[in-house]
Structure 1
Amino acid sequence: MTFLGELLDFLQRQVLGMAWLNQLVGRGLAAAGLDPATRVGASVQFFIYDLIKISVLLCVLIFAVSYLQSYFPPERSRRILSRFRGLRANAVGALLGTVTPFCSCSSIPIFMGFSAAGLPLGVTFSFLISSPMVDLASLVLLASIFGFPTAFAYVILGLVIAVVGGTVIEKLRMESHVVQFAAPVVREAMAAGAVPGAGPEPAVEDGPELSRRERTDYAVQQTGETFVSVIPYILIGVGIGAVIHNWIPASWVETALGSNNPFGVIIATLLGVPMYADIFGTLPVAEALLGKGAQLGTILAFMMATTTLSLPSMIMLRRVISGRLLAVFIGICVVGIITVGYFFNLTQHLLI
């Protein structure tokens, strides 16, 4: 057990956390005449280190996930989901969301295609919740900062929120709140080619099976396109993290988001809702907040709210569902996120 613990610690700190890179950046800045012990020097060190670390992890993970995603085009995903019913279908929908694009906005066109193909409402919403909140990348990236126990717990509880949310929405029988609003938008998206595979008569075949080279080319293309699209948010997130890490007094963070504030989880969730970022943009902020004394559950609630309920994605979603259903969706997610946040705060001493 000791060897396993040391191995996991090495993986978290040196492989995923790249502690060696932080030391290397610090030595490089010192050699250039900038003292990492000063606020300015520490801010520059944090910015360079986190930018490189997240960019490297981002590219590696997107390549791996995109390669896996090449086996699940929309039509194949629809056929897989159509084989299941009830709670199992919602669970499969949530699991399928873990191998889809990283931000909530990119998941909505797939959600539209699934809805147009006639999949149960609960399944489509389980997918829509889990896709931005829980993906394969989140497991690795969270482990690099919070450790493997926290990362596994985050993924499992995120899937629980997705399955429960989809089940509740399905029980409310609000199908009419999607169909009457989504139909014209889906047709427009299909005409523009934004919803591949969507339509009342989806193709039976996925097309010719891709070769290993074609899958690799696809993964490389997806890696480049995704990196270009998210790098602005990574830069903003790393910049905010550097400011929090070196310029914001720890007492301020502890007062607002620490254990002495019982409403810290609620505040963090409400702050995260109007923002727009994926997990890569929120990680440096989360890392800085943890170092300043914010509670684990409060930080994770902020990350969940930011990635799942971003304002741009809610605006897009409002075009394809009614305001009432959107309010139900947001309410379920907010309640689930707050509940998970308090759970992590109560178990923080066991996880990290």
Structure 2
Amino acid sequence: MIVVMKSDATAEQTDHMVSQITSLGLTPQVIKGTHQTVIAALGEERSGLTEVLESGPGVEKVLPIMAPYKRASSELKSERTVVRALDLVIGGTRVAVIAGPCSVESEEQIVGLARQLKELGATGLRGGAFKPRTSPYSFQGHKEDGLKMLATARQETGLAIVTEVMAPEHVPLVAKYADVLQIGARNMQNYQLLQAVGDSGKPTMLKRGMSATIEEFLLAAEYILDRGNPHVMLCERGIRTYEEHTRFTLPLATVPYLQEKSHLPVVVDPSHGTGKARLVTPMCKAAIAAGADALIVEVHDDPEHAVSDGSQTITPTSFGQMMAMCRRVAEAVDRTM
């Protein structure tokens, strides 16, 4: 439930209500808005709690949180969350763009590409050091050496690093090098990993599972938020359907729906969502028109010879053209890039 404090409630009254909520066996979370403070009272709801809390000093009203995802819900927090990592800002009026190769292949490759991408307007650098692959015989990534290469690229360009973490025991290592921890679609419901990433406190990009419902997606985010990490962004990367003309189906209606149901920023991944390089730019434009807070795009100097996902990867030249077109779309919907 949510305890809404009066606009003139004092700090002492707020502290009193936090203590009261704790004494009732609930977990308090204070959210200070522009005009009012609200306190989430999270835990098992019991009869009579509403009446007890409503009688507290400085309380305006007590409301139930109807959604099963309490901390991720817009019922709890109406103001949009903004996630920051170095100069990468996801949320607000500017559309962020994270770009880079599917896999880090060499230091020369990732540093050179990072320089090009920054020049073209990217605000974050993606690249896989640990790669979950369907086949055990496919390239699995350079692991810590790949992380070191990404760190070198950040040192050279200032771009925030976004890279995937695959297991709870990997979180300290990846967090040592990365600015944003990515949880891939295959791990969306790896609850131990979600909790470990939540404990790290690092900004986190959570990708939707390829067969996950929106409620399951938001409940996965709840695991991270529940560990005290508020720096979570949701990434729509396409779902598995009966269609075969694309690798996955990229449902852009997810963007406004998530923004209605949750305060967390929404990222769109048109590379995995379509699996076809020629569709990446049109879906980037459509995602911005739908209200996406950020894009994450796969870019490689030579997609034909990329060690993974070359068919869905665009070149730096195409990326520059895409950015120019997306800027026009962003301006039309009162955003910037």
Q: Could you say whether these structures have the same fold, taking a TM-score greater than 0.5 normalized by the shorter chain as the test?
A: no
TM-score range, shorter chain: under 0.3
In terms of fraction of residues, the more strand-rich structure is 2
Higher RCO (CA-CA < 8 Å; seq separation 6+): 1
TM-score (norm 2): 0.23
More helix by share: 1
